[in-house]
Structure 1
Amino acid sequence: MTPSTGSGQTPSGPDWVVELAWTGHRCIAYVEPGRRTRLLSSRDVSMTAAYPELAPELEKRSPPRGMILDGTIVARGEEHAPRATLLKKRSARSHPSQDQILATPVDFQVADLLWLDGHLTVDLPYRDRRTLLDGLGFDAAPVWTTSPLPVSELESMLRIADVKGVDALHARHLGSRYRPGGRSPLWVKVPVPRTRQVVVGGWTPTDPDHPDLIASLLLGVPVSGGQLRYVGRVGVSGEERGQVAALRKLRRDGSPFLAGMPADIARPAIWVAPRLVGLVEFTGIATDGRLRLPHWRGPVAPSDVDDTRWAVPVGPPPSRVLPEPPVEPEPVPPAPAAAVETRRLEQHFVYNALNTIAALIRTDPGRARELLFGFADLSRAADQAGNASTTLGHELDAVRGYLQLEQARFGPRLRVEMEVDAGLRGATVRPLQVLVAVRDAVQRDIEPRPQGGVLTISAAPGGHAVTVTGGVGEPVVIELRSGTATPE
């Protein structure tokens, strides 16, 4: 069964739920304990040999007479990526070695249940299928059930999807049947609109004989060396042409784009110096790196340009696209390996977090909404892991979001004491440095103990370090640097 694209209206009402649309290989799993487990793609191509690690985990939870599951295979750590490059490494190998399995782990995100223990379930309403599916207990890698939330939380889910780079949500009606091979207006794919900055590097004219009449703008994002990476073009007309009239004074002979622009677009192009920054709304990024369905939303004043809001983050922008750059902070060493590992483990945390929030929706919707916002802020911080530095204040905001979610899971077992002088919020640290230390302390010192413990984060006024301890292992001391990496 595949979702419909809808009529442009987002579903609403108490009988609708929404969840993130995973990027990966759609898969139907036929599980027969003691006999065999088959994984078939949406086109009935066998994927069983490519992902041998999934069968044992599926069979562990299967009833005696088997089950049929519908879900998506995703590469761990790249579950929301517009281009699932890691998954391609695995899908290209029909019989991967153990080293290859460990190097590129995958997960199966289960969204629906079609058969259970000798009984066909496709005619049951979705709410009943989900109840049966949740009862199977798939809540750990490499097999998870998805985490739908009420459609009343759509705005929060869109915010999370925007931060995570998810192109769409799935909205499902709780009373809907499963239609094998068909579509239904009761399962709708909801695009995630996002508005980001781009730089105009040229235009294509409406007519070669009238090159000054702009038909579409050629868009890019800044990369090192003062050039642009091409991300597509967007049409303009009427009043919008007036918004970009200043481009005619910026004409130049050579292209500001890196090599690789399509020849049929470059041939008639009029090039300009890359100084005009604008906003475009789009629904995602295609596999070739271009924006999907872009719409021009107007220019950005130089004082409002934000180097964290480029359509496709590809590195620091050149100074001529931006207003005067801030003073560079003192350099810091590369991020530790633990920060990279946080990104790889993020998918597990995503599922634990969303399952916790989904449970709270029914009992404490206010707290659930607060946790959703904290989760979005935490995701945004994690996506800055490649930056050279951040402020302690921003890092502590991410830590608070993480601890709120963990306290919702652990309850009174996790107690937090944070004593950090407000005057240190502008000090510089590596992105995720404090968060990794906090996460490690929770997992090492608090989670394994039935009685839990107290996590302490402290930094004295005028001090030069932050100390993190869970009360059992050695305290972690994180050096602070002077400077203002990001204005608070």
Structure 2
Amino acid sequence: MKRGSGSPAGRPARSGPPLPGLTPMLATAGVLPAPAEDEQWGYETKWDGVRVLAFLEGGRVHLRSRNDLDITVSYPELEDLGSRLGNGQIVLDGEVVAFGPDGRPSFARLQKRMHVGQAAEAQRLSRTDPARYLIFDLLHLDGSATIGLPYRQRRQLLEGLDLDGASWQCPAYFAGNGAMVLQASQELGLEGVVAKRLASTYRPGRRSPDWRKIKNLRTQEVVVLGWQPGNGRRAGTIGSILVGVPDDGESAANGLRYAGKVGTGFTDAALDALHRQLTPLARPTPALPAPPPRAFTVGAQWVRPELVAEVAFGEWTPDGRLRHPVWRGLRPDKSVSEVRLES
């Protein structure tokens, strides 16, 4: 397995300050490239975290989420990244991840960090549930945009920055041998791999086939439509969450369809937090062009479709519902308009 590496192949000409409104490039769901194309691709681990762009200038760091929210206060352990890289202008792309006791990424643990807007609470959580920034791309360097450079060259420039700190690092990528990289991710219990065409440029805000995500675990982003009251131990609170996906598979703007309900995977704390967030979003009817079967939604409390969540599931049923969905958590880093059906 050949690790992608090499000395920086010259820095780009200066072109002004970091690009305004810069947003992450996105991958499409797919399968490994064909063996005949394998050497044209680089392979990275797919990390189970949240996407973050880091803007560094004058020794300071400014963090933006995938949906362009300022999340700097949420991750105080990354403050020193700015001083580590000096006074230059740099924009990094990566994933913020929290690791569990088993050494694997824990999305449940990261959930504690994603909603925090108070500096004191963020500082406390940085000690009890530390996050780590795993950096995989370089979008701006020394006042120059690098997004027009090939992926292989951007990675060479990124590795030349020698990023390895207490709360950040630049994990390896591998040129070719995609099947071996995917197998290794399966054996390690990781989410999967991302295949990136070595010659591809960075296309901000675009979902491109030049980047492919190949998952070991089936997950789907969903829109929260409402909830049903629980019974027994969950009496008086949420029993299950009713969810939807884009009716055409591509855009929630064209309408949503009912995709089932999720009743497992919650902690008591998550249920309490969800109840507080959903209560002010109440509406009398489902936000769907066609109402779901009443037998599945008795006693439903409908809400405005403003929250995105992620679920793991077994497969799609013939009538388009999620089979055996398990709640993984809300995705405040993603908007309803970004939800797509995973292939």
Band the TM-score falls in, shorter-chain normalisation = 0.5 to 0.7
2:146 is the counterpart of 1:146: no
Alpha carbons of 1:180 and 1:145: their partners in 2 closer, same or farther (altered >3 Å)? same
In structure 2, how many angstroms separate the alpha carbons of the residues matched to 1:170 and 1:118? 28
Q: 1:192: which partner in 2? A: 216
- 1:30 maps to which residue? 55
Contact kept? 1:75, 1:105, Cα under 8 Å: yes
Q: For 2:73, what is the secondary structure of its paired residue?
A: coil
| CA distance, structure 2, for counterparts of residue 105 and residue 294 of structure 1 | 38
Q: Residues of 2 paired with 1:128 and 1:258: CA distance?
A: 44
Residue 159 (structure 1) shift: 2.2
Give matches, 1:397-412, under 5 Å: none
Does 2:186 align with 1:162? yes
Structure of higher RCO (CA pairs closer than 8 Å, 6+ residues apart): 2
Structure holding more helix per residue:
1
1:55 CA displacement? 2.0
The whole-number CA distance in structure 2 between the counterparts of 1:97 and 1:193 is 30
Give the TM-score normalised by structure 2.
Answer: 0.54
> Could you tell me the percent identity over the aligned residues?
32
1:102-113 matches, within 5 Å, as 102-113=127-138
Q: Which amino acid aligns with 1:170?
A: V
> 2:283 maps to which residue?
none
Distance change in 2, residues 1:126/1:103 (3 Å): same
In 2, the alpha carbon distance for the partners of 1:292 and 1:266 equals 21
Name 1:430's counterpart in structure 2.
none
**Contact persistence 1:151–1:171 (CA under 8 A):** no
Q: CA deviation at 1:61?
A: 2.2
Tell me which residue corresponds to 2:206: 182
Call closer, same or farther: CA 1:162–1:266 in 2, change over 3 Å: farther
- Note the alpha carbon deviations across 1:313-341, whole angstroms, 9 max, x for none: xxxxxxxxxxxxxxxxxxxxxxxxxxxxx
What is the alpha-carbon distance in structure 1 between the residues aligned to residue 190 and residue 316 of structure 2?
Answer: 15
Distance in structure 2 (CA, Å) of the matches to 1:125 and 1:39: 24
CA distance in 2, matches of 1:259, 1:48: 29
For the structure 1 residues 97 and 16, does the alpha-carbon distance in structure 2 shift closer, same or farther, using more than 3 Å as the test?
closer
Kept in 2: contact 1:23–1:80 (CA 8 A): no
Runs of 4+ deviating beyond 4 Å: 78-81, 257-260, 263-267, 286-289, 292-295
Shift of 1:139: 2.4
Residue aligned with 1:177, SS: coil
**Alignment RMSD (CA, Å):** 3.4
Q: Deviations over 1:227-286 (max 9, x none)?
A: xxxxxxxxxxxxxxxxxxxxxxxxxxxxxx9999xx95799xxxxxxxxxxxxxxxxxx9
Question: For residue 13 of structure 1, what is the aligned residue in structure 2?
Answer: 38
Say yes or no: does 1:117 pair with 2:142: yes
Given that 1:76 and 1:106 are in contact with CA atoms closer than 8 Å, whether structure 2 keeps it comes out as yes
Q: Deviations over 1:341-369 (max 9, x none)?
A: xxxxxxxxxxxxxxxxxxxxxxxxxxxxx
Structure 1: stretches of 5+ with no match in the other structure = 195-256, 268-285, 296-311, 313-488
- Once the two structures are superposed, residues 281-325 of structure 1 have per-residue CA deviations (whole angstroms, 9 ceiling, x without a partner) of xxxxx9555335599xxxxxxxxxxxxxxxx9xxxxxxxxxxxxx
Contact 1:70 / 1:110 at 8 angstroms: preserved in 2?
A: yes
Provide the residue aligned with 1:330 in structure 2. none
| TM superposition shift of 1:180 | 0.7
Cα deviation, 1:169-195, whole Å, max 9, x if unaligned, reads 10011111001111222211123379x
Query: Does 2:56 correspond to 1:56?
Result: no
| Deviation of the 1:57 alpha carbon | 2.4
The question of whether the paired residues in 2 share the 8 Å contact of 1:61 and 1:137 is answered with no
Give the Cα separation in 1 of the matches to 2:187 and 2:296.
Answer: 31
Match for 2:39: what amino acid?
Answer: P
- Please say if 1:87 is aligned against 2:110: yes
Cα distance change of structure 1 residues 128 and 288 upon mapping to structure 2, 3 Å threshold: closer
1:17-68 deviation per Cα after TM superposition (whole angstroms, max 9, x unaligned): 111111111001000124x321000111111011122021243124x32200
Cα contact 1:112–1:130 (8 A) shared by 2? yes
- Conservation of the 8 A alpha-carbon contact between 2:57 and 2:82: no
* 1:41 correspondence with 2:87: no
Structure 2 alignment gaps of length 5 or more: 1-24, 219-262, 267-293, 299-308, 319-325, 327-343
In structure 2, the partner of 1:126 is: 151
Please state whether the residue corresponding to 1:13 is helix, strand or coil.
helix
> Residues 57 and 292 from structure 1, CA distance in 2 versus in 1: closer, same or farther, beyond 3 angstroms?
farther
* Helix, strand or coil at the partner of 2:109: helix
Please give the alpha-carbon distance, in whole angstroms, between the structure 2 residues aligned to 1:258 and 1:68: 39
Number of residue pairs matched?
A: 211
Structure 1 residue 72: deviation in Å? Answer: 0.6
Question: What is the one-letter code of the residue matched to 1:38?
Answer: H
Pair member with larger Rg: 1
Partners of 1:147 and 1:18 lie apart in 2 by 9
Tell me the TM-score normalized by structure 1: 0.39
| Partner secondary structure for residue 90 of structure 1 | helix
Alignment of 1:101 with 2:126, yes or no, is yes
Q: How far apart in 2 are the matches of 1:121 and 1:110?
A: 15
2:4 alignment counterpart? none
Matches of 2:264 and 2:57 in 1, distance apart?
53
Distance 2:83 2:142 in 1: 12
* Rounded Cα–Cα distance in structure 2 between residues aligned with 1:292 and 1:161: 21
Match of 1:68 in 2: 91
Select which of 124, 133, 137 maps to 2:162: 137
Deviation at 1:157, TM superposition (A): 2.1
